[in-house]
């Protein structure tokens, strides 16, 4: 292209147009320039993803900014205890799960990124269903989520990542509104075994506010079975108001990271000892449950 006269002409036209834009219209060139450079990198495929499909550039430039208004203005998320999340090295954040749609995991990811001094990325673990759905699977991988299986958790913790797990799974997310802030069973404690095996500390994380976003007052079980979903929620607004019913209620959120529970002073083989695993699982669960009750007092009315 260098010896064709076209680019030279283009350049001259371009810089003239640029002067007009800058001097007369007051457009912030630098910011736009960065965006165009970003678009250029995306369109030519000059970016990197890690083995789990995590695309940090896309996450920081597009995905997190899309969630930020919801986080700041709608849910008014307050973060406590971020100093309990280590600056470097592996750690496993275990949190309660609620809200019919798992917005709590997205908000926790954003909370860690925006308030942590090292802007760490929380690598979330998702259910198989997440990876069966088109678009959702794709966005999940790109934002750093991977399948909640032992191999992936241990690989992530082994490479010093900060991993987020919601051990209640669908039992937590899809529980009826009447059960709000009552923790469900914490699975088989697979996350505790993984933490023990990699000697990563477990950080109990309590999320208040997600329970009220889509109060689930009913479950159309036969419809859920038909669609192959774990539940089909009926809320005061969904599905009655159609797409409008998908707008979450603007509850006030508090996310608190508790003190890390160390796992590095257990004897080898503890990860396969069901007694140790269940004990630790209960300890994490009780800590979160107790903190939830405290935080609920502190928050006061849900929509205040």
Nearer to another protein, 66 or 135 (CB): 135
Confirm or reject binding of residue 18 to another protein (CB under 8 A): yes
Nearer to another protein, 31 or 73 (CB): 31
Confirm or reject binding of residue 50 to another protein (CB under 8 A): yes
Distances (CA, A) of 154 to 128, 182, 190, 298: 17, 29, 11, 36
Nearer to another protein, 47 or 240 (CB): 47
Nearer to another protein, 8 or 218 (CB): 8
Among 134, 242, 267, 300, binds another protein (CB under 8 A): 134
Secondary structure in 3-state letters for the chain: CCCCHHHHHHHHHHHHHHHHHHHHHCCCHHHHHHHHHHHHHHHCCCCCCCCCCCCHHHHHHHHHHHHHHHHHHHCCCEEECHHHCCCCCCEEEEECCCCCCCHHHHHHHHHHHHHCCCCCCEEEEECHHHHHCCCHHHHHHHCCCEECCHHHHHHHHHCCCEEEECCCCHHHHCCCHHHCCCCCCCCCCHHHHHHHHHCCCEEEEEEECHHHCCCCCEECHHHHHHHCCCCCEECCCCCCCHHHHHCCCCCCCEEEECCCECCCCCCCCHHHCHHHHHHHHHHHHHHHHHHHHHHHHHHCCCCC
Confirm or reject binding of residue 30 to another protein (CB under 8 A): yes
Residue with tokens 């995905």: 63
Confirm or reject binding of residue 247 to another protein (CB under 8 A): no
Of 32-40, 161-169, 181-189, 233-241, the segment contacting another protein by CB under 8 A is 32-40
**Closest separation in Å from C-beta 56 to another protein:** 13
Among 62, 147, 261, 270, binds another protein (CB under 8 A): 147
**Closest separation in Å from C-beta 137 to another protein:** 7
# of chain residues touching another protein (CB under 8 A): 49
Nearer to another protein, 164 or 258 (CB): 164
Nearer to another protein, 138 or 264 (CB): 138
Confirm or reject binding of residue 104 to another protein (CB under 8 A): no
| Listed residue (109, 104, 74) closest to 252, CA to CA | 74
Confirm or reject binding of residue 49 to another protein (CB under 8 A): yes
Of 19-27, 94-102, 197-205, 261-269, the segment contacting another protein by CB under 8 A is 19-27
Confirm or reject binding of residue 66 to another protein (CB under 8 A): no
Ranges within 151-180 binding another protein (CB under 8 A): 151-152, 155
Binding site for another protein (CB under 8 A): 1, 7, 10-11, 14-15, 17-19, 21-22, 27, 29-30, 32-33, 36-37, 39-40, 42-45, 47-53, 55, 128, 131-138, 141-142, 146-147, 149, 151-152, 155
């Amino acid at each position: 292209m260098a010896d064709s006269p076209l680019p030279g002409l283009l350049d001259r036209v371009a810089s003239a147009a640029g002067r007009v834009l800058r001097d007369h219209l007051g457009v912030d060139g630098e910011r736009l320039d960065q965006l165009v450079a970003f678009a250029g990198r995306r369109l030519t495929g000059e970016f990197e993803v890690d083995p789990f499909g995590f695309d940090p550039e896309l996450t920081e430039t597009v995905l997190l900014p899309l969630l930020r208004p919801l986080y700041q203005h709608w849910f008014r998320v307050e973060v406590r205890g971020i100093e309990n999340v280590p600056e470097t090295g592996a750690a496993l954040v275990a949190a309660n799960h609620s809200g019919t749609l798992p917005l709590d995991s997205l908000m926790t990811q954003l909370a860690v990124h925006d308030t942590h001094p090292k802007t760490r990325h929380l690598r979330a673990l998702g259910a198989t269903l997440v990876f069966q759905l088109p678009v959702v699977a794709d966005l999940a991988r790109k934002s750093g989520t991977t399948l909640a299986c032992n191999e992936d958790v241990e690989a992530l913790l082994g490479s010093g990542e900060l991993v987020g797990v919601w051990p209640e799974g669908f039992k937590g997310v899809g529980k009826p509104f009447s059960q709000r802030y009552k923790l469900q069973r914490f699975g088989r404690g697979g996350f505790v075994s993984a933490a023990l095996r990699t000697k990563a500390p477990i950080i109990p994380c309590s999320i208040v506010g997600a329970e009220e976003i889509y109060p689930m007052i009913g479950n159309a079980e036969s419809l859920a079975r038909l669609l192959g979903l774990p539940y089909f929620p009926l809320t005061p607004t969904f599905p009655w108001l159609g797409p409008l019913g998908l707008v979450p209620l603007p509850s006030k959120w508090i996310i608190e990271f508790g003190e890390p529970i160390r796992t590095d002073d257990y004897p080898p083989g503890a990860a396969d000892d069901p007694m140790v695993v269940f004990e630790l699982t209960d300890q994490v669960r009780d800590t979160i449950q107790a903190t939830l009750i405290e935080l609920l007092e502190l928050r006061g009315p849900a929509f205040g």
